[in-house]
A = this chain, B = another copy of it.
Amino acid sequence: MIPRYTPPDMARLFSAEEKYRTWLEVELAACEAMEEAGLVPEGTSASLRPLAERLDPARIETIEKECHHDVIAFLTHLEELGGSTARWLHRGMTSSDVVDTALALTLRRAACALIERLDQVIGLLATQVAAHRRTPMMGRTHGMHAEPTTFGFVLGSHLAEFLRARERMLLAREEISYGKISGAVGNHAHLDPEIEARALGRLGLRPEPIATQVVPRDRHAFFCTALAFIASAIERFATNLRHLQRSEVFEAAEPFEVGQKGSSAMPHKRNPVMAENLCGLARLVRAALIPAFENIALWHERDISHSAIERTLLPDAVTALAFMLDRLLRILRGMEIYPEQMAHHIEQSQGLWASEALLLALVERGLGRQEAYRIVQRNAMRALAKEGSFRNLVLEDPEIIARISSAEIEKLFDLSHALRHVDQAIDRLLLQAQRPKEGLGTAEN
């Protein structure tokens, strides 16, 4: 991933240094388990642990150029650093025992970092939902004015989506928390399953029930779907912010910072570029989906075709998503909201939004639904053609006033009545958003 889209914690997590440190972490956990089982001299892992600080990615890559195998290069480097003691490492293990177990640790840590950001998004959104629960705005379907709602309710639907996306990421974190130390074809030919269980237990992982040479790749695909759900939740929010910011609407806007310039040509421009960028990055995160699924059907006990995506698009998707969440947080912290403009648009619609209430009132008075529809639509089309405000046209329509009194008609245009149930859903949602977050007490792992 390019620096522009890489938060510092993700740069660290996916660095070469960190990769090799994680590999060593796995080797040492396995070594400790073997020490306990008497397979390896006691004290081996303790004496090798300090090598973590001396790992040299450049040297490992030099060795790999000759042997064409990254794990062997890594082990050779460890022998260079650690001398003959290092020969006890990797005992009975195959490369994937190290690589896949380390990948589980890395993705688990990535998941924690993403969930932490998600929790901040949820917190900020919840605050805005509460603040704007009674801020009326025009609800829009098909881009056209529909019926009124509140900005808090609209944000609530985004908040609910982020809560669902969070649940899926929690699940994905569990699904990815499986390692393996079961050898070349996964059947523990050279190591007792007990060794595996102990080693993985030290790392906070579970053993893959039946591995091949590798941890099965549907786990990683599930992880990618969880990324895509968060990205899509962000995309929906960003898309709608772009709509709200457009010149003719301008009911809300992303922050525009002091010193910011919107266009190299047009100094008057103030564009929702962060929101647009989020939409673009969502395409990137989703692009990892199909390859992640294509990676599942490995040949026999495994081939290595999955590796290229796991070195590139998978960390890129995680990193881009972390960046997206950071950028979303920046938007949420500085988002400008214009309640008066929202009110203005409701006003402008001249009561058209009450057409359904009118329809229902006519049906209640005994008209057939399609007949009532015809009468209301007639007035609505005249209003859209600017022949008068809808409310006035209705109050003059003989077929309507023959059935409903003016007073009753006026009540149909009562905004607060239309919004009377908004609080109930919002209260329930905010409760859900505030409940203590499970599983994050031990966030590091």
Contacts and interface: CB of A to CB of B under 8 A. Distances in A.
Closest 4 CB pairs of A and B: A268-B380, A139-B185, A280-B308, A142-B271
Contacts of A311: 2, 4-5
Contact of A369 (B75, B165, B312): B75
Interface stretch (A47-55, A100-108, A110-118, A145-153): A145-153
A280 B267 contact: no
21 contacts: A2-B312, A5-B308, A68-B273, A88-B363, A94-B356, A139-B213, A139-B300, A141-B300, A143-B242, A144-B246, A144-B272, A184-B265, A184-B266, A187-B419, A190-B265, A190-B360, A233-B296, A266-B355, A276-B305, A286-B291, A286-B293
A17 interface: no
B94 A265 contact: yes
Contacts of A395: none
Contacts of A429: 209-210
Given A185-B147, A264-B95, A356-B190, A164 B308 contact: no
Contact of A248 (B90, B249, B269): B249
B267 A376 contact: yes
A143 B390 contact: no
A359 B242 CA distance: 27
Nearest to A211: B157
Interface stretch (A198-206, A222-230, A403-411): A222-230
A93 interface: yes
A209 B376 contact: no
Contacts of A239: 297, 299
Contact of A210 (B4, B156, B262): B156
Contacts of A68: 257, 259-261, 273
Given A188-B421, A209-B428, 12 more contacts: A66-B260, A69-B263, A72-B373, A79-B368, A95-B265, A141-B213, A144-B269, A189-B357, A236-B298, A267-B373, A280-B295, A312-B320
Given A5-B312, A263-B94, A309-B283, A268 B185 contact: no
A383 interface: yes
B189 A419 contact: yes
Given A236-B296, A266-B184, A295-B283, A271 B422 contact: no
Interface string A85-97: 0111111111100
A279 interface: yes
A387 interface: no
A14 B364 CA distance: 35
Contact of A72 (B261, B298, B418): B261
Interface in A202-256: 209-213, 216, 218-219, 221-222, 225, 228-229, 232-233, 235-236, 239-240, 242-243, 245-249
A399 to B, nearest CB: 13
Interface in A294-329: 294-309, 311-313, 316, 320
A33 interface: no
A179 interface: no
Contacts of A91: 360, 363
A288 interface: yes
B424 A193 contact: yes
Given A268-B355, A280-B308, A303-B242, A290 B287 contact: yes
Contacts of A225: 222, 225
A377 B141 CA distance: 35
B297 A293 contact: no
Given A190-B357, A212-B157, A289-B289, A377 B265 contact: no
A146 B301 contact: yes
Nearest to A299: B143
A380 B395 CA distance: 44
Given A184-B141, A287-B287, A308-B280, A376 B261 contact: no
Interface string A139-180: 111111111111001101101110011001001000100000
